[in-house]
Amino acid sequence: MRRRQPVTPRLLTGQDGYPVRHPYVRRFWTAAIGPASVAALLRLARAAERSQPILRPTTTPTLARAGLVVEQGREVWVRSTVPPLPDPLLRRLPQALQREALATTQQLTTND
């Protein structure tokens, strides 16, 4: 079994979207990429805010494919804000949840 290596999380700032702890992230991103991935995202963000290394989450590749983190050697850059779900992930959700996610996203864009 391969051992998880320590990584140093860093915050990526200056992007549009929802704060990483926003209910949108917990509800819709969890439905799209799974609870383990969202929990890892939250752990990475907290560690980045505290400048603390942590063991590399096993779901880091999932987060990277979703565009939520970028790996650079022993550093993992994690977004401080999370974008609305991209269309390919949105289409995976049940229709009722898709409509709810779209309505929530429209509220975000009309409040800007």
Residue 1 is assigned to a structural domain of this protein: no
Q: Which domain holds residue 13?
A: 6-110
Residue 64 is assigned to a structural domain of this protein: yes
Polymer length in residues for the chain = 112
Helix (H, G, I), strand (E, B) or coil at 69: strand
Residue 83 is assigned to a structural domain of this protein: yes
Compute how many other C-beta atoms are within 10 angstroms of the C-beta atom of residue 85.
25
CB within 8 Å of 103: residues ≥ 6 apart: none
**pLDDT under 70: residue ranges of the chain:** 1, 108-112
Query: How many structural domains is the chain composed of?
Result: 1
pLDDT the model gives residue 107: 76
Percent of the chain with pLDDT over 90: 85
